């Protein structure tokens, strides 16, 4: 945490440099200075930044290092995970199938994937392709993400499709925006449903291959290309650390259609030019039609606008299209998306009216504010907005959540005892979508342990809290998601199940503990 405090102090103490000087498009040295400041302020080891204007790459530069403790530098061919910026590749693939007459945006999902179900039978019948892509399903924020992350795990795409039926709606169908990832996995499975080709093979061949990209992969990465790899980092209990579990691997990710593409800066700049050209490649070939480009960039789900956004950006509306977030920003239409995966961050901002595109890729640290500060420092001057120090603007208020979690754990360790003998809690527990969890003891003198069968990273010791409630402290501290485990009792006072909730309010919403409802298995089940 001392390292973070030093970086925060640095970010607040430096003066604005050229980023606040005016409204002219930023020069290379201005971008360089801003990126270096952001890296220091937000504890980011490495960054790649690219800018496309009027069809040409006007800036492409790597900054910093690929991995802590090593000297290899980031460059234009370094591979990053782009995380949720993969979603636009999924929608582009479906747009190509719509152009080819193999799919329609209004097609019912259940007609193409018969095992698809949601909790409500009517919604299951009415759910169409657009509904998969627009975060308006009625499911809660991040519903089912524990089937995707933390990696590696043993869930399959079939598990995700089947598991969705167990989630109760949190809002009415097509009324509210709630970001999800699991429905993009379903969307990816539409590709094999209508072509017989997997999502990753189709994207690799029909999009990335057609664009001539050699350092961008939806599917498996050839062994010869497993070099010049960025490495993910995160602030773990206040110190920057490598997140080994999220390193780039050769194999395709089960969650690829939602966030599994690995790509270099140079190749992402080609992807941006395709977007700004409405589906036309640099050689004049049309991958998808201008009509489909307009469809993907058209509002489908309304999003709320905060007072800060109205004041800072002059924003009157925000919406979600198909794989893209949409907003009016200082009188221009902004088409953008971010990608977040522990240890990785990406940000794409397009201003179509100005034929402008910006891409920021990071390998960890405080990825959210870092990518936003860098992108805004580049984009806003093109919009006529100057005089803002975006690094200082995105500096978060100091919150030591690691210490908060530790305080809860310390209290739990302070001589507390469970309401029942520990053996009463031992057993196998089943949630209908997450599967089995074992609560066990290593030995007579040891406490309780929690171990998920399908998500092996979710393993840790249980410490008594209050009554029949415990705190589980995950062995892998990079999860940053310790949880309360509340055991339930039946009418006879026996343990019959358990629920969970995060210890810290800052826990990432992808740890959707609130959707878990475990039942204790009887002997012989």
Q: What is the pLDDT of residues 419-434, one digit of tens each?
A: 999 999 999 999 999 9
183 inside domain = yes
One domain, residues 176 and 190: yes
DSSP letters for 22-57: -SSPPPHHHHHHHHHHHHHHTT-SEEEEEEEETTEE
One domain, residues 137 and 282: yes
Q: How far apart are CA 1 and CA 62, in angstroms?
A: 27
Round the CA-based radius of gyration of the chain to a whole number and report it: 24
525 inside domain = no
Query: What's the mean pLDDT when you consider all of the chain?
Result: 93
Task: Give the mean model confidence (pLDDT) for residues 167-172.
Answer: 97
One domain, residues 212 and 277: yes
Q: Which DSSP letter does residue 364 get?
A: B
Beta bridge partners of 75: none
- The answer on pLDDT for 523 being more than 80 is no
245-286 tens-digit pLDDT = 999 999 999 999 999 999 999 999 999 999 999 999 999 999
One domain, residues 39 and 113: no
Q: Which of 318, 391, 361, 328 is nearest to 82 (CA)?
A: 361
Domain final residue pick, 345, 365, 385: 365
CATH of the domain at 190: 3.40.710.10
Task: Give the mean model confidence (pLDDT) for residues 437-441.
Answer: 97
306-309-313 Cα angle (round to 5) = 160
CA 243 to chain centre: 15
482 inside domain = yes
- E-strand stretches of 352-398: 356-362
18 inside domain = yes
Q: How far apart are CA 491 and CA 35, in angstroms?
A: 61
CA 369 to chain centre: 15
One domain, residues 212 and 107: yes
One domain, residues 295 and 379: no
Specify the DSSP element, H or E, that contains 350.
strand 344-351
The label of the residue with tokens 């406490």 reads: 447
One domain, residues 172 and 129: yes
Indicate the pLDDT class of residue 412, thresholds 50, 70 and 90: low
Specify the DSSP element, H or E, that contains 495.
strand 495-502
The label of the residue with tokens 């152009």 reads: 99
170-190 tens-digit pLDDT = 999 999 999 999 999 999 999
Task: Give the mean model confidence (pLDDT) for residues 400-417.
Answer: 63
One domain, residues 18 and 109: no
One domain, residues 383 and 456: no
Number of domains in the chain: 3
Q: Which backbone phi and psi does 376 adopt, to 5 degrees?
A: -65, -35
Task: Give the mean model confidence (pLDDT) for residues 82-103.
Answer: 98
- The answer on pLDDT for 21 being more than 60 is no
Domain final residue pick, 310, 345, 365: 365
What does the pLDDT read at residue 24? 84
- The answer on pLDDT for 15 being more than 50 is no
24-74 tens-digit pLDDT = 899 999 999 999 999 999 999 999 999 999 999 999 999 999 999 999 999
| Lowest mean pLDDT across 183-187, 356-360, 361-365, 402-406 | 402-406
324 inside domain = yes
What does the pLDDT read at residue 446? 77
What does the pLDDT read at residue 4? 40
Q: Pairing relation of β-strands 262-264 and 301-303? A: unpaired
Domain that holds residue 441: 401-520
Indicate the pLDDT class of residue 16, thresholds 50, 70 and 90: very low
- The answer on pLDDT for 435 being more than 90 is yes
What does the pLDDT read at residue 1? 38
What does the pLDDT read at residue 449? 97
492 inside domain = yes
Q: How far apart are CA 377 and CA 17, in angstroms?
A: 11
Task: Give the mean model confidence (pLDDT) for residues 223-249.
Answer: 96
One domain, residues 159 and 52: yes
One domain, residues 329 and 441: no
One domain, residues 291 and 413: no
4 inside domain = yes
Is 510 in contact with 162 (CB distance < 8 Å)?
A: no
């Amino acid at each position: 945490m001392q390292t973070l405090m030093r970086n925060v102090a640095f970010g607040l103490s430096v003066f604005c440099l050229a980023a606040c000087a005016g409204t002219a498009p930023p020069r290379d040295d201005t971008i360089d200075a801003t990126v270096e400041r952001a890296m220091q302020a937000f504890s980011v080891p490495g960054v790649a930044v690219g800018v496309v204007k009027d069809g040409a790459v006007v800036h492409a530069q790597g900054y910093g290092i690929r991995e802590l403790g090593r000297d290899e530098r980031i460059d234009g061919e370094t591979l990053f995970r782009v995380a949720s910026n993969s979603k636009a590749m999924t929608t582009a693939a479906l747009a190509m199938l719509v152009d080819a007459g193999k799919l329609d945006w209004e097609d019912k999902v259940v007609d193409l994937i018969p095992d698809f179900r949601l909790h409500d039978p009517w919604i299951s019948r009415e759910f169409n392709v657009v509904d998969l892509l627009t975060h308006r399903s009625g499911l809660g924020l991040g519903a089912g993400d524990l089937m995707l992350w933390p990696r590696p795990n043993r869930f399959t795409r079939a598990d995700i499709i089947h598991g969705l039926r167990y989630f109760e709606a949190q809002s009415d169908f097509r009324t509210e925006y709630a970001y999800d990832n699991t429905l993009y996995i379903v969307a990816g499975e539409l590709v094999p449903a209508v072509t017989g080709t997997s999502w990753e093979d189709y994207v690799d061949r029909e999009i990335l291959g057609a664009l001539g990209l050699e350092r961008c992969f939806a599917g498996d990465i050839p062994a010869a290309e497993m070099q010049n790899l960025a490495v993910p980092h995160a602030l773990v209990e206040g110190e920057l650390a490598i997140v080994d579990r999220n390193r780039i691997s050769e194999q395709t990710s089960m969650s690829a259609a939602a966030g599994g593409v690995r790509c270099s800066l140079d190749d992402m700049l080609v992807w941006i030019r395709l977007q700004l050209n409405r589906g036309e490649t640099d050689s004049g070939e049309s991958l998808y039609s201008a009509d489909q480009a307009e469809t993907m960039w058209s509002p489908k789900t309304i999003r709320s606008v905060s007072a800060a956004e109205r004041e800072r950006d002059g924003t009157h509306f925000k919406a979600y299209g198909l794989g893209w977030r949409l907003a009016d920003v200082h009188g221009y239409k902004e088409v953008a998306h971010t990608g977040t995966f522990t240890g990785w961050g990406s940000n794409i901002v397009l201003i179509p009216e100005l034929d402008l595109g910006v891409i920021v890729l990071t390998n960890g640290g405080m990825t959210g504010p870092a990518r936003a500060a860098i992108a805004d420092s580049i984009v806003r001057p093109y919009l006529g907005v100057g005089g803002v120090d975006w690094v200082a603007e995105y500096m978060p208020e100091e919150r030591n959540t690691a210490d908060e979690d530790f305080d809860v754990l310390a209290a739990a360790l302070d001589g507390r005892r469970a309401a029942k003998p520990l053996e009463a809690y031992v057993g196998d527990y089943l949630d209908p979508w997450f599967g089995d969890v074992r609560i066990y003891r290593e030995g007579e003198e040891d406490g309780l342990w929690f171990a998920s069968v399908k998500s092996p990273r979710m393993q840790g010791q249980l410490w008594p809290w209050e009554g029949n409630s415990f705190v589980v402290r995950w062995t892998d501290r990079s999860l940053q998601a310790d949880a309360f485990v509340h055991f339930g009792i039946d009418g006879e006072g026996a343990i019959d199940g358990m629920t969970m909730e995060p210890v810290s309010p800052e826990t990432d919403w992808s740890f959707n503990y609130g959707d878990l409802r475990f039942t204790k298995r009887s002997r012989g089940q």
